[in-house]
Amino acid sequence: MSARTTDDGRPLARTRSFTRRGARMKDRHQAAYDRLAPALVIDVPRPAAALTTVDPGFTLDPAAAFGRTAPLVVEVGSGSGDALLHAAAARPDWDFLAVEVWRPGIGQCLARMGERPLPNVRFVEADAAQALPTLLPAAAAREVWTFFPDPWPKTRHRKRRLVGPAFARTVHRLLQPAGTWRLATDWDDYAEHARAVLDEASGFTLASTERAPLRPVTRFEAKGVAAGRRITDLAYRRV
């Protein structure tokens, strides 16, 4: 399929599901990034001058990236790593790939590892909606996590929400048979939206509305609770 273009031939800007924040890091986060990124941040090929996209012709080999074959969890938007670091420490027998568009978040996460980086964690700096349709082989992941995505609460912005039919197809492709997509949000409207999308999506069935077993109380969750919002967890199984 050819890329969509404007009338004068320029490529159309893609609809982003994230708010692009500043790229400046605190000094200690930058120092951690400089020290650990060569080993833990996967250097992916990108289209010319693109910061958050991945060349669609590239496919990542998880076994080569982690140096072993193990159950793989893909976290979409790891932020500063609250869930990622907790889960990777709790399950050293699993591998965790964080697809995070915000480099300062990766830097903060690396700084929080301290002097003993977790060997079962890797990062790809990318827009997950663009990268994941082609980044990994089909059926590569045991679980996909989408915890507290940007809610885009205004009606005119809802087209930007990550969870939609196209991304559901992407996750279905990524998951192994009986694999699980885990979601969490502190916006009731987003929870209803996600359920509507996934109940309609082919190849998923609702497995649980209980808290994800490896999900700690994250900063996003704490902020939502402090603001009086209810936390919703959803787990959909690939069928």
pLDDT, tens digit (0-9, with 9 covering 90-100), for 143-189? 999 999 998 677 676 788 999 999 999 999 999 999 999 999 999 99
Predicted pLDDT at 18: 45
Q: What pLDDT shows up at residue 13? A: 42
CA distance 180 to 177: 9
pLDDT beneath 70: ranges in the chain: 1-23, 152, 155, 157
Segments in 114-206 forming alpha helices (H): 128-135, 165-174, 188-200
Q: Taking the CA atoms of the chain, what radius of gyration do you get in angstroms? A: 17
User: What residue segments make up the domains of the chain, in order of their start?
Assistant: 27-238
Q: What integer pLDDT is reported at residue 115 of this predicted model?
A: 83
Q: Rounded mean pLDDT of the chain?
A: 90
Please state whether beta strands 175-185 and 141-147 pair in parallel, antiparallel, or not at all (unpaired).
parallel
Q: How far apart are CA 7 and CA 185, in angstroms?
A: 39
**What's 27-238's CATH class?**
alpha beta
**Could you give the residue numbers annotated as active site?**
150
